[in-house]
Amino acid sequence: VLSWIHPETQAVIMRCSQPLVGMSGKRNKDDERYLDIIREANRQISKLTIYDARPNVNAVANKATGGGYEGEDAYPNAELFFLDIHNIHVMRESLKKLKDIVYPNVEESHWLSSLESTHWLEHIKLVLTGAIQVADKVSSGRSSVLVHCSDGWDRTAQLTSLAMLMLDSYYRTIEGFEVLVQKEWISFGHKFASRIGHGDKNHADADRSPIFLQFIDCVWQMSKQFPTAFEFNEQFLITILDHLYSCRFGTFLYNSESLRGKEKVTEKTLSLWSLINSEKSKYTNPFYTKELNRALYPVASMRHLELWVHYYIRWNPRIRQQQPNPVEQRYMELLALRDDYMRRLEELQITNNSKISNSSASSASPSQMMSQVQTHF
């Protein structure tokens, strides 16, 4: 399915699940022709670029269960690249290790080695690196790309949504980010109920995995590197994650649009976006500068990535809560002061215009007043 079209080159980002080639190398002529049509629609390229989010060895192993990847024989006009992003089980274990080092104790003496042993930031790096490759191929390479993992609703959603965030400034606004999550995650079938475990006490469930949390962490990493490029602030991202787990809103309930429709979620619950949009000033980045058509490429290096302390360690009772950024706090105060002055200025202008109108009316001659009310028959 189509995710995004480049407004200038018409190159596209498409997404799907893995081809079902199996051990026998089965082929689907309709699928092969469909990918050729996508390639031919962009006359600037000779080959379609396919990004498989999985490690190569995992893609090969999936052949045993009927899955696989695009072979050269069936797809001669495509280039295939593996992005080496691990599966949901590896990510789940990584988050468990991270939880163990941040709660209930934070061991200062071995903090860096403990953090490294979780491999959490390494996974963040791989996801960001993959998204950068997708975005760069579409923007600089002017090539249409197809992205998939195994099922098309986990790593695929991470890559397409992050690439779109890098390429399109609209998705860096509050409204645009809500649309991005609604489209690439909710509408395209990320299994929120299974991955989060809503209402399920079985914490050892093999389907649980922090895929959406990883995506939001990647967005936070980008916002740290480009502090003026995003309309939303850190609190916006934290609020989304809090209500990912709270079940207070219907936004992230169930595994698919079909189930949400069947359970009448939109009729029985409120949307998280309604809460956020009702108090936008709380979630607005005061340093935001609107820039159209500017692509953002974050540095996906371990030296530039950091643990999101305000999210992962905020409830640790032994860690003193950091005070708000004084520069940001003062900036917000100045913005509020500016808004107050602008409001007063508008009131003065309205009052002044009203006085001028009254003065003009009272000084008009009787003949002028008569001419204003004359009716022509």
Please give the positions annotated as active site.
149
Owner of token pair 């600089």: 140
Is 16 assigned a ligand-binding role in the annotation? no
Q: Which of 178, 190, 211 is nearest to 257 (CA)?
A: 190
β-partners of residue 82 are 52
Question: What is the distance between the alpha carbons of residues 359 and 114, in angstroms, rounded to a whole number?
Answer: 77
The token pair that represents 221 in the structure block? 């990493």
Question: CA 79, CA 47: separation in Å to the nearest integer?
Answer: 7
Q: Is 153 known as a binding-site position?
A: yes
User: 144 among the known binding-site residues?
Assistant: no
Annotated binding residue 155: yes
Return the exposure string of 193-226: e unless at least 16 CB atoms fall within 10 Å of the residue's CB, then b. bbbbbbeeeeeeeebbbbbbbbbbbbbbbbbeeb
Q: Is residue 23 within 8 Å of residue 64, measured between CB atoms?
A: yes
Comparing C-alpha atoms, which of 25, 28, 19, 77 is closest to residue 48? Answer: 77
In whole angstroms, give the CA distance from residue 70 to residue 32: 10
E-strand spans in 24-105? 48-52, 78-82
Does 149 carry a binding-site annotation? yes
DSSP structure class, residue 150: S
Non-local (6+) Cβ contacts of 116 within 8 A are none
User: For tokens 């986990």, what's the residue?
Assistant: 154
| 152 assigned ligand-binding residue | yes
* Residue 264: C-alpha distances to residues 191, 199, 252 (Å): 17, 18, 13
Cα dist from 309 to 101, 148, 319, whole Å: 12, 31, 10
Instruction: Quote the CA–CA distance of 103 and 314 in Å, as a whole number.
Output: 10
Please tell me whether 54 is known to bind a ligand.
no
* 154 annotated as belonging to a binding site for a ligand: yes
Q: Which two tokens stand for residue 137?
A: 């191929």
150 is in an annotated binding site: yes
Please choose, from the candidates 300, 319, 299, the residue with its C-alpha nearest in 3D space to the C-alpha of residue 311.
Answer: 319
Question: What residues form the annotated binding site for substrate?
Answer: 87-88, 149-155
Question: What residues form the annotated binding site?
Answer: 87-88, 149-155
